[in-house]
């Protein structure tokens, strides 16, 4: 387990927001990346998700713009922070 994964459980407990499926669908239909769609459906800002997951806001922003491919570890912790499975974030 990496240091990033070790920090995640304590941060995830602070969130009680469950992503809204229909909001996510609307963002996907508008051309958003799955990460952006699920983040917005969960009503998280980029900074909120960065704080909860431990992945930097710069990395999240670049991934949402499809300028930076996420590592398997980053996908895993972002999915967990959003209450999803890693496959939900596949583009």
Which domain CATH number covers 59? 1.10.260.40
Classify residue 30 as exposed, middle or buried by CB count within 10 Å of its CB (0-12, 13-18, 19+). exposed
On whether residue 1 sits in a domain, the answer given is: no
- The total number of structural domains that make up the chain: 1
Alpha helices in the chain (DSSP H): 3-12, 21-29, 34-41, 46-53, 57-64, 72-82
On whether residue 4 sits in a domain, the answer given is: no
On whether residue 42 sits in a domain, the answer given is: yes
Instruction: Look at residue 79 in the predicted model and tell me its pLDDT.
Output: 96
Q: Which of 79, 71, 4 is nearest to 38 (CA)?
A: 79
On whether residue 5 sits in a domain, the answer given is: no
On whether residue 40 sits in a domain, the answer given is: yes
> Which residue in the block uniquely carries the two structure tokens 């670049």?
62
Domain that holds residue 68: 18-89
Residue-wise pLDDT for 10-69, tens only, equals 545 544 456 677 777 787 888 889 999 999 888 899 999 999 999 999 999 999 999 999
On whether residue 35 sits in a domain, the answer given is: yes
């Amino acid at each position: 387990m990496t240091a990033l994964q070790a920090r995640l459980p304590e941060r995830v407990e602070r969130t009680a927001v469950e992503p809204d499926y229909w909001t996510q669908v609307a963002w996907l239909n508008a051309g958003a990346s799955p990460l952006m769609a699920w983040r917005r459906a969960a009503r998280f800002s980029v900074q909120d998700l960065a704080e909860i997951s431990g992945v930097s806001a710069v990395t999240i922003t670049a991934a949402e713009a499809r300028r930076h491919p996420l590592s398997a570890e980053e996908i895993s912790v972002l999915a967990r922070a959003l209450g999803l499975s890693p496959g939900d974030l596949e583009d």
